[in-house]
Chain A
Amino acid sequence: MSPSTDDAVARLAEQVATFLANHDPMTTDRIEFLRARFDAGLAWVHFPVGRGGLGLPRELQPMVDAMFEEAGAPDNHPRVNVIGLGMAAPTLLAYGTEEQLDTYLRPLWTGEQIWCQLFSEPNAGSDLAAVATRAVRDGEDWVVDGQKVWTSSAQNAHLAILLARTDPSLPKHAGLTYFICDMTDPGIEVRPLRQITGEAEFNEVFLTGVRIPDSNRIGAVGEGWKVANATLNNERIAIGGGPVPRESGMVGVAAAAWRSNPARRRPDLHDRLMQLWVESEAARLTGQRLRQKLMAGQPGPEGSAMKLTFARLAQQLSGLELEVLGAEGLRYDDWTLRRPVEVDFLGRGPGYRYLRAKGNSIEGGTSEILRNIVAERVLGLPPEPRVDREIPFKELAK
């Protein structure tokens, strides 16, 4: 690091130390502590002053997080509010008004308000620009009607980012607008959608006459696609944070199964285990390298490549784990319909891991779509021929 960043590091470390001296994590109320940390600019140091940050380089964040963790400070339950922290916050920062930032950023960061993502619909998954949920202007409000699906955490969420169609007479990418939606609105009905694991992590969401004030619109009317793309780019980059230790995640689980089951060690399994171990290590280093590249800059399409790799490895390793376990792998931990607040890969059994990992190549963009993104935006290959670009949405075959 250059001398000037050395200075910045020292100053920031001192700021954190002073903060911890003034807010004893052991005696300060959890939410009070988190609010104060936000107000001190120590939430996201790369965010602007007054917005939870100090306008510092992103690469300084891991040090801050590590210092707070070491001091036993409460965290903001990052795994419960994945969509709020990972997607809503950067989108707000890029396109939100001052008033929206004032209102939403702090409770989002402290975890007082959980967010979900009302994007996908029965007829708009990969083809997200095909959303049909309507938003019609009515005075100072918009009135929203439609159906969303596969919405993770909708049952726990206070707020949602919502993509809706405001002008069906325009081609599909042009008639969309992006909103902040209050999930406690009486027009919202959340129905659990049971999934292959037995639990209901995601939901169907029905919107009937939901009123959203125009002040909760993010970006201009008709610019929803552009805003949504900012969100999706952040979705695919979710590799933030600090260094990841070797054998963390699924490869560690599979390796542990191998180490604790000497009697089941077969050469064919060993060969696959070592191949996947090497690939996991290479992927871990690729993530580290990408993080080093991105520290200063914005997430780029390269994050899509990481997501592709992690999805494949999680699936292959969770499958291998079952094979290493043999008969034990035939048993499942729990089929009851539960509504978890977070995905808990490591806390559940191997059968759960195998089944849930199948979603890794679907959620947040399928692996096929991500390959398109890598091919077109990273490698610069020509786009697919588009048959629906110029046609008004309402005239498209549904």
Chain B
Amino acid sequence: MSELDLLYTDVENDLRRTVRDALRDRVTPSAVIAMYDGDRTVVEPLWKTIAQDLGLAGLLVPEAEGGLGASAREVATVCEELGRVVAPVPFLTSAVVATVAVIGSGHSVVADLATGGTTAALAVPFTTAPHGALPHLSATGGTVTGAVPNVAGALEADVLLVPVDESDGLAIYAVPVAGARINPVVSLDMSRQLADVVLEAAPGTRVRGDGEGSLRAALRTGAAMLASEQVGIASWCLATTVEYLRERRQFGRPVGSFQALKHRLADLYVSVESGTAAARYAAATLAVGDSDAEVATAVAASYCGNVAVTAAEEALQLHGGIGMTWEHPVHLYLKRAKTDQLAFGQPGEHRSRLAELVDLPVGSGEADGGSADGGPVAAPPGREIS
């Protein structure tokens, strides 16, 4: 049995450097902070750089469909770098989640996405777990009707990819945003601002029938890649805090020489390392289509979601008063980390799914009927939102 490589390849490291250089020049904390006051001017040029100039929008798209045919490993590396600067670009929502949902459909939207000329968003709530309830909208006569709250990436999108209920299952329709109502939501994380989407007989075209598998694969890839973004967030928080504590002096010593703080940072380092390993493994399994990908994703999603939040919370606390200020960027990371923890399924939802996958059933073997203490149960595929 050969084990998957959990380190970064030379190609991935080159890619990381390229992305990092591009971001260094173009995204600053103050530009991201401005988004909380409604100034979104940083988004478009930055996204153009990432998607078109660097060509990263087509990373996951096979060459035959107009993309670069790279794998989840490279995408994960990009997500780490984007997380490290809380980049306000729809890479995850468009180039990863929306793209995976339509790859192989034969529809022209795939090639448009691959060039970065078109940006798409999957019309499902950002909180949807890969195994969770999906929205079901309805279509008649080439128009789609329904509403989906808390959609990530909709504000940047040209096209919405919408799950539509058809007699033989869930289809995916492409709906140009011109025909949709997209109501921005005042979001906890304004660097990935959400929107409520309302479609009233919006013109759309059918991209694929039998779309449930693709939708779930898209969400699973989203959850796995989000774990790498979370690793990027956590790494920044750790490195920045270590840096600060080495400089900051109180009681005649650098505060980083106080053991209570050193031990907290040592523990955080251990978690970030574990998170990196878990996220790398998830990316590696997706990259080669390994049968362990679903377990790997559930592990990474449930582990890394908490690591990023802990890292951001520790960073804030250990920066003292400065950490509470609007000027210091740590709040951007906290808001992104907390939001990410709720996205694509919370850690607990992933653990519930994992319990099924690895045969560790919840609850007692005796049917006690008491759902009150029946523990977390995976949400049945339902029709919650219409």
Contact = CB atoms under 8 A, between A and B. Distances in A.
Given A288-B3, A292-B6, A375-B262, A281 B276 contact: no
Interface stretch (B57-65, B173-181, B352-360): B352-360
B270 A308 contact: yes
B262 A372 contact: yes
B265 interface: yes
A250 to B, nearest CB: 15
Contact of B270 (A271, A288, A305): A305
Contacts of B270: 305, 308-309, 374
Contact of B364 (A262, A376, A381): A262
Given A278-B299, A380-B242, A383-B257, A285 B360 contact: no
Contacts of A279: 274, 303
Contacts, number: 150
B163 interface: no
Interface residues of A, number: 47
A382 interface: yes
A139 interface: no
Interface residues of B, number: 50
Contacts of B289: none
Contacts of B274: 279, 282-283, 285-286, 309
B360 A282 contact: no
Main secondary structure of the interface of B (DSSP, over half): helix
B262 A378 contact: no
Contact of B277 (A259, A266, A285, A384): A285
A267 interface: yes
Interface string B315-329: 000000000000000
A375 B266 contact: yes
B26 interface: no
A271 B373 CA distance: 12
A205 B348 CA distance: 50
B281 interface: yes
A212 to B, nearest CB: 37
A247 B360 CA distance: 12
B7 A292 contact: yes
A338 interface: no
12 contacts: A243-B3, A267-B362, A267-B374, A274-B354, A274-B360, A282-B274, A282-B277, A285-B274, A374-B269, A375-B265, A381-B254, A381-B265
Interface of A: 243, 247, 255, 258-259, 262-267, 270-271, 273-275, 277-279, 281-283, 285-286, 288-289, 292-293, 302, 305, 308-309, 368, 370-372, 374-376, 378-385
Interface of B: 1, 3, 5-7, 242, 245-246, 253-254, 256-257, 259, 261-263, 265-267, 269-270, 273-278, 280-281, 299, 302-303, 348, 351-352, 354-355, 358-366, 373-376
List the 7 closest pairs (A to B, CB-CB), nearest first: A262-B365, A267-B375, A375-B262, A285-B277, A374-B266, A382-B257, A371-B266
